Amino acid sequence: MSVLVATTMEECRGAIGRLRPGRRVALVPTMGALHEGHLSLVDLARERAEVVTVSVFVNPTQFGPGEDFDRYPRDLERDVRLLAGRGAAIVFAPDTRTMYPEPLLTTVTMRGITDDFEGAHRPGHFDGVLTIVAKLFHVVEPDVAVFGQKDAQQAAAIRRMVADLDFPIEIVVGPTVREPDGLALSSRNAFLSAADRREALALHAALDRADSLARDGVDDADRLLDAMREELSRHPAIAVDYVAIVERDSFRPLRRISGPAVAAVAARVGGTRLIDNVVLEPHER
């Protein structure tokens, strides 16, 4: 299956314009260094649309000073090969000057959902994410866009931006793809040493504890948080940024679980910052 690689907005719009008549268009935004998590989103997109566009853009505005923008893994050739194998029609891979010919004077900023957790630990991150996603939506004009639950707060923020700003786009959120031992796939896993890789399993172990307690009927957030912290504290090599039990859509901390909830964790392992989460199913009473 051949895939068209567009590097300018005009090329991308032109290719989509030719393929669109009578077809649905999907967008899967990524920063490249693709893994099976990203590719599972392409599969979901293919189920919902005939023309799947995948953007590959390491977006500088969502990285803070001192973060890993410069060393973020990049391998477009490999990404294109993988995407061709999964039936993507178009890869949109612009460079920074294409997306930001001038410093932006206009950005998308959100309150509430993005205030805490990733937003607090990465100031400016969500402005960068929401702004680039809004720009990509305007270039591709997809009928459907697919994101991963792996970035739970991002997924909640994007759903809300689409509602608030009337983007006529269906948002689909795909489940987190994991290694057989539970580690969530992430482009940043490439930075982990063998020892870090073993330590990193603690994030999943902590989430697993919260998940099984919630399934057993524990609905008190403090008890779930204590269990997660206890699990993580067995790994002194891990520096925890936060553990959280929040309502899935608003990302407001919960005292008690009664509806859709997310247990989330962010931690640094060696020099690598990892995030993970699970959706908690409230216990049937």
Positions marked catalytic: 38
Residue 131 binding ligand AMP, by CB under 6 A: no
Q: Is the dihedral of CA 226, 243, 263, 116 positive or negative?
A: positive
Distance set, CA 44 to CA 83, 107, 120 (Å): 13, 29, 31
Q: How many residues bind ligand AMP (CB under 6 A)?
A: 17
* Residue 188 vs 209, nearer CB to ligand AMP: 188
* Residue 114 vs 186, nearer CB to ligand AMP: 186
| Interacting residue with ligand AMP among 3, 5, 25, 38 (CB under 6 A) | 38
* Residue 61 vs 186, nearer CB to ligand AMP: 186
* Residue 79 vs 219, nearer CB to ligand AMP: 79
Which parts of 146-205 interact with ligand AMP (CB under 6 A)? 147-148, 150-151, 174, 176-177, 184-187
Q: Could you identify the residue written with the tokens 């999907």?
A: 26
Which parts of 6-35 interact with ligand AMP (CB under 6 A)? 30-31
CA nearest to 220, candidates 247, 260, 256, 262? 256
278 by DSSP, 3-state: which?
Answer: strand
* Residue 91 vs 225, nearer CB to ligand AMP: 91
Which DSSP helix (H) or strand (E) runs through 196? Answer: helix 194-215
Pairing of strands 90-92, 4-6: parallel
Pairing of strands 25-30, 144-148: parallel
Q: What is the number of other CB atoms lying within 10 angstroms of the CB of residue 166?
A: 7
Q: Could you identify the residue written with the tokens 């001192």?
A: 66
Residue 41 binding ligand AMP, by CB under 6 A: yes
DSSP labels, 52-67:
EEEEE---GGGSPTTS
| Interacting residue with ligand AMP among 6, 12, 16, 37 (CB under 6 A) | 37
Which parts of 230-259 interact with ligand AMP (CB under 6 A)? none
Region near ligand AMP per CB under 6 A, out of 12-20, 38-46, 65-73, 120-128: 38-46
Instruction: Measure CA 276 to chain center.
Output: 10
Residue 118 binding ligand AMP, by CB under 6 A: no
Q: Cβ 152 to ligand AMP, closest distance in Å?
A: 8
* Residue 4 vs 56, nearer CB to ligand AMP: 56
Cβ–Cβ < 8 Å for 133, 57: no
Q: What is the dihedral of CA 50, 76, 82, 271, to 10 degrees?
A: -120
Residues lying near ligand AMP in the complex (CB under 6 A) are found at: 30-31, 37-38, 40-41, 147-148, 150-151, 174, 176-177, 184-187
